[in-house]
């Protein structure tokens, strides 16, 4: 659920410098109601997410301020198939309602300003304040999730203020940020719990205060439905088993490696444990290194693994973009061909474009969706909870890996660091990452 610090920070600074040339008058023009105005440099308004042309609607019914329908084209874009939505009725309805909101118009200029400034007033006159609070946000995946959160929030006229906080990898700050949101009496919180169960006390405090808290990217901590509202995402244990199935089929015997995010984070720990147990005896996991989802660390970590195991047969990790950047650089520096079996949770364009360039049939890449739109589902779950809906403790999306050789991640028009399964309109993506 993921370039993170130094290498991406450089790109992001360039993007912010480019955006900084906007005039004060243009910025002032943004502060309008979400449906009108030209916004920043004529960005205008449009659907909050990818909608596609034609295609039928999936779902039926309505309730708690939501319509349980979404365009099949939108579902296929975000999930690879319109069929890959939660099977149980209540989670399915929440997912359809959330992704169906991609058809609603929002002000793109306002969304961009809100993203740049870590929050904003929406100009709608709404009384609700929503917050996206996380332990670590200095990466492309999280920044794109932040924009998805903003776009989703702007589809609700009752939301008048959006807040974003990142603790910059500091547990104490993450707890303090959460407590600050509770003290400010925000209406709802969405988060990714980088520090796992260490966040339970503040989750409980928020829940006791009547503030719904939902996680995404399968940010599972103990007690969904009790300690917090719900966890949204794919079952990452099943993801690990699917990774293992690929390794078992593609590799007869040999060494593979795992890499993950923060030590103990719920996403990495879940798939790693389940993949490890599902691997056949002839495949050995010789390394399992945390990267803190920091691209500046990835090259050194991969280099260290290759120094000990130059004949590595495969590797499983969350973020494909990091392995297109630091990972590839490590292989190149070691004089080892960039090949083997790789399984990833995200589908950033960078690795797909690199694979197309290398044209090596021995480079076998399998990947899941980015999962960025899952944050929209988490916010909609919170909004429905505020209307007294009974929210399922888990909202689980089915898993179907794609193969780079059959479905390329390298999608025309998308910035290399971005995922094409995101619902962020391309017009906005190009302003975020020029």
* Per-residue H/E/C for 119-141: EEECCCCCCEEEEEEECCCCCHH
User: How do 159-166 and 128-134 pair as beta strands?
Assistant: parallel
Per cent of the chain over pLDDT 70 is 90
* pLDDT classification of 14: cutoffs 50, 70, 90: very low
- Where is pLDDT greater, at 57 or 39? 57
In this predicted structure, the answer to whether residue 12 has a pLDDT above a threshold of 60 is no
Rounded to whole angstroms, how far apart are CA atoms 327 and 325? Answer: 6
**What value does the mean pLDDT take over residues 330-359?**
96
- For position 20, what pLDDT does the model report? 38
CA atoms within 13 A on the CB side of 312: 29
- For position 39, what pLDDT does the model report? 47
Residues 6+ apart with CB under 8 A from 393: 224, 225, 226, 230, 231
Residue 314 near residue 275 (C-beta atoms within 8 A): no
Q: Give domain 236-367's CATH number out of 3.20.20.20, 3.40.50.2300, 1.10.540.10, 3.90.226.10.
A: 3.40.50.2300
Residue 108 near residue 44 (C-beta atoms within 8 A): yes
- For position 139, what pLDDT does the model report? 86
CA angle 191, 194, 196 (to 5 degrees): 95
CA angle 375, 111, 98 (to 5 degrees): 30
Residue 279 is classified by DSSP as: S
Farthest CA pair distance, the chain: 65
Neighbour count for residue 198 (Cβ, 10 Å): 16
- Sketch the domain layout of the chain as residue ranges: 45-234+371-399+421-432, 236-367
User: How do 254-260 and 283-290 pair as beta strands?
Assistant: parallel
- For position 40, what pLDDT does the model report? 61
CA angle 261, 348, 332 (to 5 degrees): 75
**Nearest residue to 373 via CA among 403, 404, 342, 395:** 395
Task: Tell the CATH superfamily of the 45-234+371-399+421-432 domain.
Answer: Response regulator (3.40.50.2300)
Residue 195 near residue 265 (C-beta atoms within 8 A): yes
CA angle 99, 140, 382 (to 5 degrees): 35
Residues 6+ apart with CB under 8 A from 138: 4, 5, 8, 9, 166, 168, 169
What's the pTM value of the predicted model, to 2 decimals? 0.89
- For position 30, what pLDDT does the model report? 36
- For position 334, what pLDDT does the model report? 97
Three-state DSSP state, 360: coil
In this predicted structure, the answer to whether residue 185 has a pLDDT above a threshold of 50 is yes
User: How do 70-71 and 57-58 pair as beta strands?
Assistant: antiparallel
**What value does the mean pLDDT take over residues 284-289?**
97
* pLDDT classification of 151: cutoffs 50, 70, 90: very high
pLDDT in tens, 197-222: 999 999 999 999 999 999 999 999 99
pLDDT in tens, 249-269: 999 999 999 999 989 899 999
pLDDT in tens, 367-413: 999 999 999 999 999 999 999 999 999 999 999 999 999 999 999 99
* pLDDT classification of 42: cutoffs 50, 70, 90: low
- For position 98, what pLDDT does the model report? 98
pLDDT in tens, 54-105: 779 999 999 999 999 999 999 999 999 999 999 999 999 999 999 999 999 9
| Topology match between the domains 45-234+371-399+421-432 and 236-367 | yes
E strand residue ranges, 60-150: 62-63, 66-67, 70-71, 105-107, 119-121, 128-134
- For position 38, what pLDDT does the model report? 41
In this predicted structure, the answer to whether residue 302 has a pLDDT above a threshold of 80 is yes
Count how many residues are written for the chain: 434
Residue 342 near residue 365 (C-beta atoms within 8 A): yes
What is the dihedral angle through the alpha carbons of 54, 60, 63, 67, rounded to the nearest 10 degrees? 0
Phi and psi based region of residue 123 (left: phi greater than 0; alpha: psi -120 to 50; beta: remaining) = left
- For position 242, what pLDDT does the model report? 98
In this predicted structure, the answer to whether residue 314 has a pLDDT above a threshold of 70 is yes
- For position 91, what pLDDT does the model report? 98
Exposure string for 162-175, b = 16+ CB within 10 A, e = fewer: bbbbbbebeeeebb
- For position 41, what pLDDT does the model report? 56
**What value does the mean pLDDT take over residues 288-297?**
90
């Amino acid at each position: 659920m993921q370039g993170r610090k130094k290498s991406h920070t450089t790109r992001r600074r360039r993007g912010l410098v480019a955006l900084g040339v906007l005039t004060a008058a243009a910025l002032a023009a943004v502060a309008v109601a979400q449906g009108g105005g030209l916004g920043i440099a004529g960005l205008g308004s449009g659907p909050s997410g990818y909608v596609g042309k034609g295609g039928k609607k999936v779902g039926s019914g309505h309730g708690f301020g939501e319509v349980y329908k979404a365009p099949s084209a939108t579902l296929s874009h975000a999930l690879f198939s319109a069929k890959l939505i939660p099977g149980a009725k209540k989670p399915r309805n929440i997912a359809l309602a959330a992704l169906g909101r991609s058809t609603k118009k929002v002000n793109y200029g306002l969304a961009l300003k809100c993203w740049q400034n870590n929050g904003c007033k929406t100009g709608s006159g709404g009384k609700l304040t929503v917050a996206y609070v996380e332990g670590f946000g200095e990466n492309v995946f999280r920044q794109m999730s932040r924009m998805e959160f903003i776009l989703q929030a702007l589809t609700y006229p009752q939301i008048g203020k959006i807040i974003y906080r990142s603790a910059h990898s500091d547990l104490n700050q993450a707890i303090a940020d959460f407590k600050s949101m509770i003290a400010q009496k925000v209406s709802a919180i969405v988060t990714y719990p980088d520090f796992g169960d260490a966040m339970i006390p503040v989750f409980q405090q928020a829940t006791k205060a009547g503030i719904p808290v939902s996680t995404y990217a399968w940010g599972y901590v103990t007690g969904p439905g009790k300690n917090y509202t719900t966890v949204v995402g794919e079952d990452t244990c099943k993801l690990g088993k699917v990774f293992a199935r690929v390794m078992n089929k593609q590799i007869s015997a040999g060494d593979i490696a795992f890499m993950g995010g923060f030590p103990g984070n719920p996403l990495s720990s879940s798939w790693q444990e389940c993949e490890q147990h599902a691997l056949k005896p002839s495949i050995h996991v010789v390394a399992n290194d945390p990267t803190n989802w920091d691209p500046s660390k990835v090259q050194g970590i991969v280099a260290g693994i290759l120094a000990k195991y130059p004949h590595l047969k495969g590797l499983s990790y969350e973020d494909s973009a990091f392995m297109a950047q630091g990972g590839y650089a490590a292989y190149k520096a070691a004089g080892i061909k960039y090949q083997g079996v790789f399984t990833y949770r995200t589908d950033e364009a960078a690795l797909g474009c690199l694979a197309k360039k290398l044209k090596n049939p021995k480079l076998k890449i399998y990947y899941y969706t980015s999962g960025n739109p899952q944050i929209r589902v988490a916010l909609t779950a919170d909004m429905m909870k505020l209307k007294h809906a009974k929210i399922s403790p888990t909202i689980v999306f089915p898993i179907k890996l794609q193969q780079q050789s059959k479905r390329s991640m390298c999608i025309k028009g998308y910035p290399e660091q971005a995922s094409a399964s995101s619902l962020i309109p391309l017009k906005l993506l190009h302003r975020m990452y020029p």
